[in-house]
Chain A
């Protein structure tokens, strides 16, 4: 499968713990996005990378959240001191500047449950 892959698929943690999610984009894609989706809502933008540079962050991304994309390949999203409100599906997507605008390729998501 050469699509976007995310790990872990499910994570259950206690409030106050730190969690980290990994995203491996499609190999030739230079753009990578993180979205968050809660029940009954559409995906909400969190942050965006072009290669290794983090070019944009949503105001939803509090200072407990940090994302990296070293070497412009895979990306990690870390949440420190998790809160129950962080429970959501975290989606990663990638795209290529050479492809049609707006065609993002999504992973299956990492579901976080904070107890």
Chain B
């Protein structure tokens, strides 16, 4: 069965420090991986997709099929990065329809001044 694991419920770092939010997945096939973010009092929104291989708000994520990981990284954290971050997987057997997603439990990132 497909599964997304985010081992850290809470991650607190100081402003300017590097950030790495961990995500591991299990899926028999070629999944698509995503990071979604939810800022305080805002709706859940897409941050980035592994296919795009782009940097959004300074964040990058590389899909490592050997380690089945898709960790989210940013070299220098900013206070506005404080939010809930969810790793998500989309695949043929992930359920949830054509674009259906299986989410991890989320990591609450707090950036301290």
Contacts and interface: CB of A to CB of B under 8 A. Distances in A.
Contacts of B83: none
A110 interface: no
Interface stretch (A37-45, A67-75, A77-85): A37-45
B32 A107 contact: no
Q: Bin the interface of chain A by size.
A: 20 to 34
The interface residues of chain A, by DSSP majority, are classed as loop
The interface residues of chain B, by DSSP majority, are classed as loop
Contacts of A31: 97-99
Contacts, number: 78
Q: Bin the interface of chain B by size.
A: 20 to 34
Contact of B95 (A40, A58, A104, A108): A58
20 contacts: A33-B96, A40-B9, A41-B105, A42-B103, A42-B104, A42-B105, A44-B103, A45-B96, A45-B97, A45-B102, A48-B98, A50-B97, A95-B99, A100-B52, A101-B49, A101-B51, A102-B46, A102-B88, A102-B99, A104-B101
